């Protein structure tokens, strides 16, 4: 119509597809040998993962979940109907000292699994420079990354690295999740 109206050839330039996917990636590293130290952290990680999963499922939002179990485990959750299977899988997750979140995230990035994601939620029990570098890579790809860090330690230096596309939210180990996710 614009061509006819202006008597000049008009061409529509598409700037690319809008990313729609949501990904949830979480840490399955066991921190230490004492149950009283590692169990509260692991419980809070699982609580946050299930809360985020339920939030999306209740709204009919599909998402991909990734976690380490001596390799990448990936599940696609399709709304509330897929949440029960997801919950069942989460209940079987084994935390292990050999699991490294930065290795898991690096492998997922290497396979370009996140490229269709609009948002990546990460639930971790700690941050390091390697993880932050990978988050920068997602930022450059236009992907919003939100880190939920389960810790009672001071991570101000990392929080200062937050920006519009990379957010860091602390989840204290003994605090409730309400109002934090």
Q: What is the pTM of this model?
A: 0.85
Cα 147 to Cα 170: distance, rounded to the nearest angstrom: 8
pLDDT digits (tens, 9 = 90+) for 23-81: 999 999 998 899 999 999 999 999 999 999 999 999 999 999 999 999 899 999 998 99
- Cα 26 to Cα 65, 79, 114: the distances in Å are 8, 19, 14
- Residue 93, number of CB atoms within 10 A of its CB: 18
What sign does the dihedral 49-55-57-62 (CA atoms) show?
negative
Q: How far apart are CA 110 and CA 104, in angstroms?
A: 10
Distance CA 42, CA 28 (A): 8
Q: Does position 108 have pLDDT exceeding 50, yes or no? A: yes
Q: What is the pLDDT of residue 128?
A: 92
Closest to 141 (Cα-Cα) out of 159, 169, 161, 118:
118
- The arithmetic mean of pLDDT across residues 110-123, rounded, is 86
**74-94 average pLDDT score:** 94
Of 93, 121, 91, 89, the residue nearest 108 (C-alpha): 121
d(CA 175, CA 83): 25
Residue 112 confidence class, pLDDT cut points 50, 70, 90: confident
Q: Is the pLDDT of residue 19 over 50?
A: no
Average pLDDT, the chain: 89
DSSP at 31: -
Q: What is the per-residue pLDDT for 18?
A: 47
* The pLDDT value given to residue 146: 96
What's residue 116's pLDDT?
Answer: 77
Q: Summarize the confidence of residues 148-176 as an average pLDDT.
A: 93
């Amino acid at each position: 119509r614009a061509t006819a109206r202006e008597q000049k050839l008009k061409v529509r330039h598409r700037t690319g597809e809008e990313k729609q996917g949501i990904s949830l990636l979480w840490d399955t590293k066991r921190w230490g040998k004492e149950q009283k130290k590692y169990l509260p952290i692991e419980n809070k990680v699982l609580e946050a993962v299930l809360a985020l999963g339920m939030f999306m499922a209740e709204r009919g939002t599909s998402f991909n979940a990734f976690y380490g179990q001596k390799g990448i485990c990936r599940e696609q959750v399709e709304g509330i109907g897929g949440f029960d299977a997801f919950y069942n899988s989460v209940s079987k997750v084994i935390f292990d000292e050999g699991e490294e979140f930065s290795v898991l995230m690096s492998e997922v990035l290497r396979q370009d699994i996140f490229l269709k994601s609009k948002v990546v939620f990460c639930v971790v029990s700690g941050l390091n420079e390697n993880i932050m570098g990978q988050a920068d890579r997602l930022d450059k790809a236009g992907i919003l990354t939100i880190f939920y860090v389960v810790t009672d330690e001071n991570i101000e230096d990392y929080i200062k690295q937050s920006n519009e596309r990379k957010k860091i939210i602390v989840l204290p180990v003994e605090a409730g999740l309400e109002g934090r996710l």
